[in-house]
Amino acid sequence: MRQAAARRFQHAVVTGGAGFVGSHLCTALLDQGTAVTCVDDFCTGTPGNVAHLAGRPGFTLLRADVTEPFAVERSADLVLHFASPASPADYLRLPLHTLETGSLGTRNALALARRHGARFILASTSEAYGDPQQHPQSENYWGNVNPVGPRSVYDEAKRFGEAFTTAEAGVNGTDAGIVRLFNTYGPRMRGYDGRAVPTFIRQALAGEPLTVTGDGRQTRSLAYVDDTVRGILAMAASDLLGPVNIGNPVEITMLDLARTVIELTGSESTVRFIERPTDDPAVRCPDITLARGKLQWEPLVPAAEGLARTIRWYRERAAAD
């Protein structure tokens, strides 16, 4: 396997670069000396997420919907395909756009990588495992997805994207890799995007009850965004096709997460139990043996620290508003 340090990129195209994970990825790439073209249609992201990069040499923001073929003039040696609504609230609001971004968007991003002879990375997801019957989930588990359930527009689009990427690598020799990202949190998640961490922090800071779905015993494994970005860049620097799980194997129940956020914010909030969404997975935990062995990657930021950093960001932003 090619050593991570030996592979340097001159110019990366990041689709979905104005979203939560994408904006951190753009920053990390610029920090390592890689020029970035951020391609986004702003359906769930905003130019504000990359406003801090506007003056930096090598950064270009291009408004485009990747479901339509798109071109980038300057030669690129890395394409990171991160465009896709990702929170359940977003993909349930944008079901057809989510399916088209995972299918047509992946095809167009792969075509761009092929034209440029670039390394291609697909942002897939732990949702590819659906409501898993294997725990923790390793990459050779095929998953348990309801193809016509409400979450299918996201889960199946990502699974299709994985199939397309694998076929493209086999048929056309495109240098492709697939990362299956598990729940990631951090600054720039929208307070109303419906995901647990921003929802709980917003509610705790407002002194409102924290809305925990079901009995709160369902688990997630939460990775701080800096860890996830480091894993993605390690995958880009390798020549692996994958898929490779990138996530934090430390599992937490949603009730414990709510209590931790209350404690870290010093809030007076209580917990209120609400109905659990259809097909909501009961457990979620990555087996990261492959990432540890092949990428020498593992998460470093403990939940208490990552949550404290995220809470600080929400407080500072509220103070600036």
Q: Out of 16, 130, 187, 243, name the contact with ligand NAD by CB under 6 A.
A: 16
Q: How far is the CB of 235 from ligand NAD (least distance, A)?
A: 13
Q: Is 154 annotated as catalytic?
A: yes
Query: Total binding residues for ligand NAD by CB under 6 A?
Result: 29
Q: Which stretch binds ligand NAD (CB under 6 A): 15-23, 136-144, 296-304, 307-315?
A: 15-23
Q: With binding defined as CB under 6 A, does residue 201 bind ligand NAD?
A: no
What whole-number distance in Å separates Cα of residue 210 and Cα of residue 132? 26
Q: Which of residues 152-191 bind ligand NAD (CB under 6 A)?
A: 181, 183-184
Q: Is the CB of 181 or the CB of 267 nearer to ligand NAD?
A: 181
Site string for ligand NAD, 18-47 (x = CB under 6 A): xxxxx-----------------xxxxxx--
Q: How far is the CB of 6 from ligand NAD (least distance, A)?
A: 26
Kindly give, in sequence order, each residue whose CB lies less than 8 Å from that of residue 304, ignoring residues fewer than 6 positions away. 260, 264
Q: With binding defined as CB under 6 A, does residue 108 bind ligand NAD?
A: no
Site string for ligand NAD, 59-98 (x = CB under 6 A): ------xxx--------------xxxxx---x--------
What whole-number distance in Å separates Cα of residue 99 and Cα of residue 67? 10
* Cβ atoms < 10 Å from Cβ of 279: 16
Q: How far is the CB of 285 from ligand NAD (least distance, A)?
A: 14
Q: How far is the CB of 38 from ligand NAD (least distance, A)?
A: 9
Residues 110 and 168 sit within 8 Å (Cβ to Cβ): yes
Q: How far is the CB of 174 from ligand NAD (least distance, A)?
A: 19
Find tokens 């989930």 and name the residue: 137
Kindly give, in sequence order, each residue whose CB lies less than 8 Å from that of residue 309, ignoring residues fewer than 6 positions away. 186, 187, 224, 301
Q: How far is the CB of 27 from ligand NAD (least distance, A)?
A: 13
Q: Is the CB of 104 or the CB of 264 nearer to ligand NAD?
A: 104
Find tokens 């949550």 and name the residue: 307
What whole-number distance in Å separates Cα of residue 100 and Cα of residue 47? 22
Phi and psi at 203, nearest 5°, equal: -65, -40
Q: How many residues are listed for the chain in this entry? A: 321
| Alpha-carbon separation of residue 225 from 64, 71, 182, 247, 250 (angstroms) | 25, 29, 11, 10, 15
| Burial class of residue 214 in the structure, from the number of CB atoms within 10 Å of its CB (0-12 exposed, 13-18 middle, 19+ buried) | middle
Q: Is the CB of 44 or the CB of 265 nearer to ligand NAD?
A: 44
Exactly one of 91, 154, 185, 314 is catalytic; name it: 154
Which residues are known catalytic residues? 154
Q: Which residues bind ligand NAD (CB under 6 A)?
A: 15-16, 18-22, 40-45, 65-67, 82-86, 90, 101, 105, 123, 125, 181, 183-184
